[in-house]
Each structure stands twice: as C-alpha cells, then as structure tokens.
Chain A
C-alpha cells in the first residue's frame, strides 16, 4: 500500500465491566460500609482502579463502583490516583441503606471527607496531593463545589501535620504571587473558605495568615 507518511498512534483502551451494585450492608456488619457495593472491583488492583476512574463518568449506574474505587485507592494511599481523585472531587457517594432508612452508620457522623470520597482519599494520600489540590483550586474548570472540597483537603492535610495557619498562609501567598487576576480571585475565595476550617485554638493565627502575615 502506498500512501502518505503518517505516524500512527495506537489507542489503548482499558475497560472494566461494571456491575450495578444492589447489595447494601446491613447495620453493624462491619465498619467497611462499601462491602458488597461493586463486585467487579472488589479485587481490582490500584492501577486497574485508576484506569477505571480515568475512563468513567459517574452516573447512577456506576456510582457505587466509583465510590468503592475511590475508597480503596485512598485506603491504599495510592499516589498515582491523585489526578482522577482531583477530577472527582465533587463526586458525592450514594447513600447507604442505613442512611436511606434514616439511621446512622457506624463510625460517627459523616463529614465532607466521607460524603465526597475523593476528599477523604486525598486526605489519606497526604502531602503529595497538595500540588494537584492547589492546581484544582486555581483552575477555571474546577466546579465551585469541587473547589470548596479541594480547600477542605488542603486544610485537613495541614491540620494533620503543620497546622492550619500555615495552610491559610500558603494559599494567601499563592494569591499574592499570581499575576493572573482570575486565579487571584479564586485563591482569594479559597482563603476565605479556608478560614472556616480553622479550629478555635488557631483562629487568630489563621486570620493573621489570611492577612498576609509571615509564616
């Protein structure tokens, strides 16, 4: 065959078959509320879970699998999952059967880290997620909910390690540093949001950091 010179590209497509999980845990049958949520991913390796998340657009038919995949990657502290987790920051998991019935699951009240599983997963991955989290805060393409959740991740990672005032101060520094007015605006909003995450014992220091005090 004679033809034009062209570099061919192979497209590697990875698919994971989904099952529509319909089995829900019964109250008190263990702390892992994701048991039985998605049989096809129960034994999947972290790389397979990442490929699944990279390819998926969450909807009602796959939300149990998405939630389970995120949960497993967070528990494994799998750093290669940071990118898809950031993309799914505004993904809200479906309710459990206990929640549908109006009663709490074991493990205490459910915060943003639980309702939006990517938040919890990124919290567990820790500091290595921070550059991506900052990019998500700055990006125009990030939804307001995802940005709010990104701020929650940012603050939680610092809460566990260096303290929340430092987290606020670093956001403020990014706001000052950037020359892009749109990004500056988004960071300004993130600083305001970050202040709501500060513990009473650190509120004063957080406010000072938000005002641009030296770290």
Chain B
C-alpha cells in the first residue's frame, strides 16, 4: 500500500497506523518513507498479529536513519509485504499538539485498480482530480501535497476556484519521480468566498499522483481534511445514490465527553458538484427521540456544474422543527447522480474552532461486515462510534472489538432507522462479559473493531458507521478509517481445464475474505464462456463442444469485495463494492484420425492424427485395444502426427488419444478415437435382396421396421405403424467375406431414376444419383451381429402415401442400385445391385389400397423399370 502524507517538525509527530484485516495469520510489513525529494528510507520490519494493530512512529524512524525529526520534512510512505491481497487498513496520522492540529490520511492499494477481481470494464486513464475547500472563519488557510509515485516527473497545475468556479489562483508544480510538492493555498485566507473548488490536472495519470490536503488555522487550532475525488474520464450515466453523514452534533456538548464547560457544537456540511451536469440533492435529517427514529425530509438542493455549496445546517434543523436541538443527528442526501460527480464534507466544530469532529460521508448500501481500523482510549483519547440502521426493518448487528490478546463482542440490535452512539471507553468500563464470557481488560487501550451481522461476517447487512478518536486535552479528533470487508481474492478452481470434445470438468468460484475465510460462490455465480462454440458452462460445469480455447468466467454480482478505498476518498459511489469474478482458461483438445479402412493381421496401416488447437502443448498419448498395437509414435506428441498401427488378431480395435488429467486424477482424459477392424483378408461383399416373406430373424433392425410399418412382412404391405400408405418392403443383404470381419459395413442405396404421378400427371422426378440410404435405425451394419456372422442388412419400404381420400391414384416408379461400403466410403461390393419399385395407391374411406389399373404395376424386382405413369 502506498500514499498518505506524513509531516514532521518541531511540533509535528507523524505515525503510520496499521490494522491487519487478516484474522488467521500474522503479516510482516516493511515501511518505506519517501521524502519530498524522492529519497527513500526503509524502516525496520513490523509484524502484525492476526487482526492486530501497530503504530509506526515516523519521527522515530527518521531518527534511526540519522535524520532529525525536528526538521520540517514531509513525504509519502509505502508499506511492503508478501500477501496475496492488500491485508491492511493503513493511515498516516499527523498531530501537532502545540497547535491542536490533526491530519489523518489513508494509504491506498499499490495497484492502480484495487478491484482487479471486480466485473468491471477497463477504465480510461484520467488526468484530473477534483477537490473542495471551505472556511468557517476568516483566518483559515489550506495546503495541498502532490506526491508522484511514478518514475517519471509529473507537471501538475492546481486551480483554486470560488463557489461559482471563478479562478482564485493557479499553481504549477513539477513533481520529481517519487517526490512530493507541498503547495500553500494562501489565497483562501483573502478570498471573499467561503467555499470553492480545487481542480488538479497532471500531464501524467491520476493513478500515479496522490493528492492530500488540509485546512488549518494555527491560531485557533482548527484543522480539517480536504476531500478529493477522481471523476471518471468518460461521464457515467446517473444512478440513484444515498449518502449519509453520521454523528453530527448540535448544541451543548455531551457532558460524558468531558469537554470544557459551555462548549457548544455547530454542524457543517459542504457539497460540491464536480460534474458537467446539474445535480439535485434531497436532504433528510434523522434523529432519535427516545428509542424511536425520527426524520424530516427537506427541500431539494440544486447544485449547478462545478458549484460548491456550504449548507446552513442549523437552518435545516430549524426547518425540521429542531431549532433548539441538542445532541447527535444524521443527514442523508439522496440524488440521481453519476458516479464521481459529488464531493461532500461534514462535521461539527465548537465555537472556538478548536474542536473539529469531522465525519466521512458514507454511502448507504448493502454490504457484509465493515472494519474500523483503530480505536484508542489511552492518554486522554476516546473513540466515539455512531451506527445507523438505514433499513426499515430491525437488524441485529454485533460490534466486535479486537485487541492484543483477545476480542469482545457487543450485541447491537437496532430498530428501523435507529442510530446508536457510544464510546469505546464505556464498553471497557462496563466490564459486562460477552456471550463467550470475554471482557476487555482495563489495561487495554487500543485495538481494531468490526461491525457485522449477528450470523457471521459474510451476512449481508445494511448499516452505516462512523467513528472518531478524540482527545479533549489535546483538542484533537481524528477520523477512524472504515474498511469494507469482503472477498480479497477470488479464483477459479481449477484455473486450467483440459477436456476433450464432449468431456466435462467442474470449475468452482472460490472467494477468500480479507479475514482469511473462504466461501464457495459457484452456485451464486453467473457463468459465461468466451467461446460457446468451443466450450459451454452451466453452474461451473464446463462441457467441451469443439477444439479450441475458451475463458470460463464466474461472476457473483452480489458478493462483497474488500475495499479500503472508502478510507481515502477514491470511492466515487461512497458504497462498499460488490461483484466478484474469476476466470479459468479452458483448452478443448481434440485429436481427429484419418480413416483406417481396416488392418490386415501382421500388417501395418497409417492414420494421421490431427491435433486441435494447433498451439497445444499438452503431451498426448496413444493407446489401442488388444487386437492391434501402436508402432509409432513411441512416445507422446503435441501436434499433428502420423500414426502407424499393426494388426495383431482378428477383431475390432479402438485407437484412443488421451491427455493427463490436469487436476492430477488417475484417469487420463480421452480427446479422440477411431475404431477399425483387424482382419485376416480384405473384406468384400455380395449384395442380394429379399422381397417376400418376413424380415430375417437375425436382422436387428427388425423391430424398428415393424414399429414403422406395422408388420415384419416384405413385399406389398399396407403400412399401419408410424408410417402409413401402400408400401413395398424389402430387405437388402450384404454377405461379407471373411465372415469374421469385425468392422461395420453399410449398405447404401441410390436412386438411379424415378418419377411420381398423381393419376397420369407427373408431380416430380428425383435427380439421378440421389442418396436414399436408410436411416441407421433400419440398418444392421455390424456383420458380427448376424447369426451366423457375416451378414449386414438394410430394411426399407417405399411407396405412395396418399394424404387424403380424394379419388386420385398416387404412383411412384423408381430405379435404385445398392452397394456395400466401409464407414470411410471404401466400396467393397464388386458390383451394384440394381432393382426397381413401382406402385400405385389410393386412399379410401376404409384405408389405403393398391391400384392395379396399369399392367405390371405394384412390383419390386431386380433390374430396372420404365418410369412413365403407365409403364409404357
């Protein structure tokens, strides 16, 4: 993680605050300090226990490097660690006790896009960062620190404007690589306006420019953080957004907070529209009356493009009927706004401008648990926490405190829209054992915390939370960084898939929470294949369709993602992000073999193994069933290869290509095969035909013939099965030599010529050569299925099928020839068997009838027939 702004000096102390979000393992960090001139110093390693916190004293760290911490120095920091994701919530806190100033800046993930696993299109690089300033009294001035974390110098301009976008000052700076420039915004002091904008433009990219800033009045002890946002390069469409400012204070200070007598607080809220379109924002004030939540909806506020507006919150309270209100309250703003178009700042300040309780505007949206980086009750500190249930139903939360050596869980049931504010010191002082019997020892003064649903950390809840650590004696109040918990790492298991065509493999989407907990998101995810013609996916189950490569993506749109970025203001939506995705790369391998008609015993035959995809690198093995052996290749191969097989014994053989199971399973994965016969002699066939009697008893297509035409009779039949009409049934037989031949042989049938008629009118002629081969359901191609072995069969019945009772005669005259061929097309019958069918049929009320008005009609026989209607 990187960023922040550290400042040291005679009165300035700077520290890095770290919380380890991992609850299962310790993590060791190496802090690196970058000075404004780009020089870096590596500080000693620090190990954080699971869910532990650490404070790294930068002044002390510089001293160890031989650098006086009394010197006015500044820069940014980096923390390095070895962990699969950013496991920390990290902030840099700068405290000037002498002047009662405090500036807290968050560090951000090192990678420009912290949500790599999120289902988002790549965003264009941006060059502009927008900020906002305001002043509640005339002596306030400001500063901006520009840190360049790239290795290229960056030329940056900083334009300071008033609330109507008129320029007040223009600053330019060249920031050296890994350097930082500090700009004083002295113009704020003399500006007539009391609020305005800041526009920062770089000739680099905003990914490598870290901007932090502050407002201060040393004479009064006023300090506040300047908010910044990076608007998207291309405007995004408006969407509903709800933003909450929690724990604002009005009126006399709560006596329990131990402020000096007569301390009163005034709330403030400043909004800026940094987009190019007007935005309408509707405020609602929420407060508690007894145990019940109350609200008042106020008129909408119109914000013109680039307009900054400081709201008169006291007037708003008055409008809500709370003119004399003393206590805490919340403001929500509802708007229809494009992401990145709004900047907000809010807080409460006392009448002396010394005590400034800043609050961070939070988006109101569903999330899982949220983590608070740090709480402190030591050395006069206390941490005030405000929790709001924005839902219109009660919710049971738990507030978990983590500290060195233990944890404590506080049940936090909240009614609809109710707010609860409490100090951590109260919990410690109460010493009430939690459900596990834990209490927080009185000696404990710091730790981290988390708010979650009562079921577990992954329960979806709707909650807004804000916290600040204040010190009445030092007159400082620092905001507590809030992290969105969620999935920190998502992976598709298995990341590599290799299946054959038709093969399947299960991919799972596994998310790992920042805390270390793993969740299976497979069933909640939407799965997609980048190439559905190569591989399909259903609930993570991948099926190979054809050879090639495909990315298999799983996306759970509602699973939370861990994000620390709500700490540092780069969250343009103000809400915790959702949507976890991961992809798996799939290779659908296929090996296609060229035809092996047959192999003679003791002889070899060749086939070409074609491998797809052509860039395959997975080793492919060959194996063949016992009737044959592979002669070559002798080892594995990855690309197209010639294969030689040898016949060993008469029978059928199957040559199979396999690859190892990528998941390490014992069974290799088949990616292609070819079957062929090993024979004692080259097969030949003699084709004959039966046209009377019944279907041969060893013809295994007999039952399909029967269900189709309703009988096993051959010759002239009236079809009464699924096909009806006047049929001429025939069984073509192929007698195979040698009879032991174990490969398939198909009897093909071709129409040599033909014609159809209605009465004497021609209705068409099939083109000569039309393939009329029967469907496999009507064939018996395996000569080993006959009894005795050595015969293949083809059954068919052809004839007119008059569609209705119309008195017409429907006629067909067709010449066929039949032949026997191996599956690859090699013809093994020495001559074609030619035959003809002629039939005439009519449909009457009682059914189909052959019509014998033409002599010689309704016959089947060897040879040919005339194809005229009257056979003349």
A contact set with B: CB distance below 8 Å: 1-5, 7-8, 10, 12, 26-29, 31, 45-48, 77-80, 99-104, 106-115, 120, 123, 152, 155-156, 159-160, 164, 196-202
- State how many angstroms separate the Cβ of A36 from the closest Cβ of chain B: 17
- 26 A-B residue pairings within 8 Å (CB atoms): A2-B242, A2-B364, A4-B391, A5-B366, A5-B461, A27-B766, A28-B764, A78-B545, A79-B502, A80-B538, A103-B801, A107-B771, A108-B749, A108-B773, A109-B727, A109-B778, A111-B704, A111-B777, A197-B704, A199-B702, A199-B703, A200-B695, A200-B702, A200-B712, A201-B700, A202-B700
Please give me the residue from chain B that is nearest to A48 by CB atom.
B532
> Which chain B residues border A99 with CB–CB below 8 Å?
801, 803
> Which chain B residues border A8 with CB–CB below 8 Å?
558
Whether the Cβ atoms of B536 and A80 lie closer than 8 Å is yes
Query: Which residues of B761-780 are within 8 A (CB) of A?
Result: 763-767, 770-778
Given A28-B766, A46-B545, residue A111 in contact with residue B802 (CB < 8 A): no
> Which chain B residues border A7 with CB–CB below 8 Å?
460, 558
> Which chain A residues border B334 with CB–CB below 8 Å?
1
Whether the Cβ atoms of B796 and A106 lie closer than 8 Å is no
Over the window 321-332 of chain B, the binary record of Cβ atoms lying under 8 Å from chain A Cβ atoms (1 yes, 0 no) is: 000000000001
Over the window 738-769 of chain B, the binary record of Cβ atoms lying under 8 Å from chain A Cβ atoms (1 yes, 0 no) is: 00000000000101000010100001111100
Whether the Cβ atoms of B391 and A110 lie closer than 8 Å is no
Question: How far is B502's CA from A98's CA once the two chains are assembled, in angstroms?
Answer: 36
- State how many angstroms separate the Cβ of A187 from the closest Cβ of chain B: 20
Question: How far is B366's CA from A3's CA once the two chains are assembled, in angstroms?
Answer: 10
- State how many angstroms separate the Cβ of B392 from the closest Cβ of chain A: 6
A110, A123, A196: which contacts B708 (Cβ < 8 A)?
A110
> Which chain A residues border B803 with CB–CB below 8 Å?
99-102
Please give me the residue from chain A that is nearest to B365 by CB atom.
A1
B391, B392, B533, B763: which contacts A103 (Cβ < 8 A)?
B763
Question: How far is B557's CA from A197's CA once the two chains are assembled, in angstroms?
Answer: 51
- State how many angstroms separate the Cβ of A118 from the closest Cβ of chain B: 14
Question: How far is B725's CA from A151's CA once the two chains are assembled, in angstroms?
Answer: 25
5 closest Cβ contacts across the A-B interface?
A: A28-B766, A108-B774, A47-B532, A111-B708, A108-B796
Please give me the residue from chain A that is nearest to B843 by CB atom.
A102
> Does B722 touch A at the CB level, under 8 Å?
yes
> Does B666 touch A at the CB level, under 8 Å?
no
Question: How far is B770's CA from A26's CA once the two chains are assembled, in angstroms?
Answer: 12
> Does B254 touch A at the CB level, under 8 Å?
no
- State how many angstroms separate the Cβ of A119 from the closest Cβ of chain B: 10
- State how many angstroms separate the Cβ of B669 from the closest Cβ of chain A: 16
Over the window 772-815 of chain B, the binary record of Cβ atoms lying under 8 Å from chain A Cβ atoms (1 yes, 0 no) is: 11111110000000010000000111111111000000101000
The CB with the most chain B CB atoms within 10 A, among A45, A77, A78, is that of: A45
Question: How far is B758's CA from A120's CA once the two chains are assembled, in angstroms?
Answer: 32
> Which chain B residues border A197 with CB–CB below 8 Å?
703-704, 707
> Does B665 touch A at the CB level, under 8 Å?
no
Given A1-B334, A102-B801, A199-B702, residue A110 in contact with residue B242 (CB < 8 A): no
Whether the Cβ atoms of A106 and B751 lie closer than 8 Å is yes
Question: How far is B779's CA from A160's CA once the two chains are assembled, in angstroms?
Answer: 10
Please give me the residue from chain B that is nearest to A29 by CB atom.
B767
> Which chain B residues border A5 with CB–CB below 8 Å?
366, 391, 393, 395, 460-462
> Does B709 touch A at the CB level, under 8 Å?
yes
Whether the Cβ atoms of A103 and B812 lie closer than 8 Å is yes
> Which chain B residues border A198 with CB–CB below 8 Å?
703
Question: How far is B700's CA from A155's CA once the two chains are assembled, in angstroms?
Answer: 12
> Which chain A residues border B392 with CB–CB below 8 Å?
2-4
Given A5-B461, A27-B756, A199-B699, residue A108 in contact with residue B798 (CB < 8 A): yes
> Which chain B residues border A1 with CB–CB below 8 Å?
240, 242, 334, 364
| Number of chain B residues whose Cβ lies closer than 8 Å to a Cβ of chain A | 76
Question: How far is B770's CA from A107's CA once the two chains are assembled, in angstroms?
Answer: 10
Please give me the residue from chain B that is nearest to A99 by CB atom.
B801
Whether the Cβ atoms of A201 and B756 lie closer than 8 Å is no
Question: How far is B545's CA from A48's CA once the two chains are assembled, in angstroms?
Answer: 13
A10, A107, A111, A155: which contacts B772 (Cβ < 8 A)?
A107
**Can you add 14 more A-B contacts, CB < 8 Å, to A1-B364, A27-B766?**
A1-B242, A5-B461, A5-B462, A46-B545, A101-B803, A102-B725, A102-B800, A102-B803, A104-B798, A106-B771, A108-B773, A115-B722, A152-B707, A159-B700
> Which chain A residues border B727 with CB–CB below 8 Å?
109
Given A107-B774, A108-B796, A201-B700, residue A45 in contact with residue B532 (CB < 8 A): yes
Question: How far is B782's CA from A7's CA once the two chains are assembled, in angstroms?
Answer: 58
> Does B505 touch A at the CB level, under 8 Å?
no
Whether the Cβ atoms of B774 and A47 lie closer than 8 Å is no
The CB with the most chain B CB atoms within 10 A, among A103, A109, A160, A199, is that of: A109
Whether the Cβ atoms of B242 and A28 lie closer than 8 Å is no
Whether the Cβ atoms of A28 and B751 lie closer than 8 Å is yes
Please give me the residue from chain A that is nearest to B453 by CB atom.
A5
Question: How far is B722's CA from A2's CA once the two chains are assembled, in angstroms?
Answer: 63
Please give me the residue from chain A that is nearest to B806 by CB atom.
A102
Question: How far is B779's CA from A156's CA once the two chains are assembled, in angstroms?
Answer: 12
Question: How far is B701's CA from A155's CA once the two chains are assembled, in angstroms?
Answer: 12
Question: How far is B767's CA from A198's CA once the two chains are assembled, in angstroms?
Answer: 37
> Does B723 touch A at the CB level, under 8 Å?
yes
Query: Which residues of B385-440 are within 8 A (CB) of A?
Result: 390-393, 395, 417
Question: How far is B569's CA from A154's CA once the two chains are assembled, in angstroms?
Answer: 64
Whether the Cβ atoms of B766 and A109 lie closer than 8 Å is no
- State how many angstroms separate the Cβ of B699 from the closest Cβ of chain A: 7
Please give me the residue from chain B that is nearest to A128 by CB atom.
B502
Question: How far is B707's CA from A198's CA once the two chains are assembled, in angstroms?
Answer: 10
Over the window 683-727 of chain B, the binary record of Cβ atoms lying under 8 Å from chain A Cβ atoms (1 yes, 0 no) is: 000000000000101111111110111001000000101110101
Given A4-B391, A5-B391, A111-B704, residue A28 in contact with residue B765 (CB < 8 A): yes
> Which chain B residues border A114 with CB–CB below 8 Å?
775
Please give me the residue from chain A that is nearest to B776 by CB atom.
A160
> Which chain A residues border B749 with CB–CB below 8 Å?
108
> Does B543 touch A at the CB level, under 8 Å?
yes
Whether the Cβ atoms of B758 and A111 lie closer than 8 Å is no
- State how many angstroms separate the Cβ of B858 from the closest Cβ of chain A: 15
Question: How far is B796's CA from A5's CA once the two chains are assembled, in angstroms?
Answer: 66
Question: How far is B84's CA from A48's CA once the two chains are assembled, in angstroms?
Answer: 38
Question: How far is B702's CA from A198's CA once the two chains are assembled, in angstroms?
Answer: 8
> Does B42 touch A at the CB level, under 8 Å?
no
Whether the Cβ atoms of A111 and B763 lie closer than 8 Å is no
> Which chain A residues border B502 with CB–CB below 8 Å?
77, 79
> Does B606 touch A at the CB level, under 8 Å?
no
Given A28-B770, A201-B697, residue A109 in contact with residue B798 (CB < 8 A): yes
Whether the Cβ atoms of A2 and B390 lie closer than 8 Å is yes
> Which chain A residues border B654 with CB–CB below 8 Å?
none
> Does B526 touch A at the CB level, under 8 Å?
yes
Question: How far is B603's CA from A119's CA once the two chains are assembled, in angstroms?
Answer: 42
